Amino acid sequence: MTAPADRPAGPGPTTLLVIAKEPVPGRVKTRLTPPFTPDEAAELAEAALYDTLRAVRAMPARRRVVVLDGRPGGWLPDGFEVRPQCAGGLDERLAAAFAASTGPTLLLGMDTPQITPHLLAPALDTGAWDDCDAWFGAAEDGGFWALGLASPDPRLLRGVPMSTARTGAAQRARLTAAGLRVRDLPPLRDVDTTDDAERVAAAAPAGTFAATLARLTPVTGR
């Protein structure tokens, strides 16, 4: 895959972080195998990451950072910094990503390739942080796909149970318990299973993820 030829959108008040894993076969999208092979699952992960970064690149941002487990590859467009993930559980890695940021920061995952600049715009517009301390995007599986903090504080994430059906509710409750004024982004479906992949591709049929899924799926089905 090659990066888009257009330049990144101009500066904005918010830093955008994408928490990501290098799309290496056997290390990503393991719940897609079977029916897909590890190599095919890695192709789908790369496509999801590519679409995510393309949407982020089109939005105004103070900085664009990929917080990466692994090494960057050809899927990484121009206009992004790369920062390694720390060790530890997901709550610690997310907390560290925010700890290394200053000022308003919005963190996204790599499992929602259906995101668009239009969908992200409310959290990145000029008045996004007026009377708002946090932005939250719930995932349909019970997690969350986006978290924005006007003043990044890693304590808001440490200890939140991750990868459960209650993760999103627990994280949002942590924000409100701290007295933060929270605004919500639309709930989205993460790509974890084959059914998820098909539904996400249908929601964003023009994306690289949808094209990759169509190429890898025989007409007769699996």
Domain boundaries of the chain, sorted by first residue: 16-212
pLDDT given at position 6:
64
Average pLDDT, the chain: 93
Reported confidence tier of residue 16, pLDDT bands at 50, 70, 90: very high
pLDDT at 218 over 80: no
Q: What is the pLDDT of residues 155-192, one digit of tens each?
A: 999 999 999 999 999 999 999 999 999 999 999 999 99
How far, in Å, CA of 151 to CA of 124, rounded?
15
pLDDT at 8 over 50: yes
pLDDT at 95 over 70: yes
pLDDT at 5 over 80: no
pTM for the model: 0.93
More confident call, 162 vs 126:
162
How far, in Å, CA of 42 to CA of 69, rounded?
14
> Is residue 163 helix, strand or coil?
coil
How far, in Å, CA of 209 to CA of 93, rounded?
26
- 16-212 maps to which CATH number? 3.90.550.10
Average pLDDT of span 146-154: 97
pLDDT at 88 over 50: yes
H helices of 23-162, where?
38-57, 90-99, 117-124
Q: What is the pLDDT of residues 98-117, one digit of tens each?
A: 999 999 999 999 999 999 99
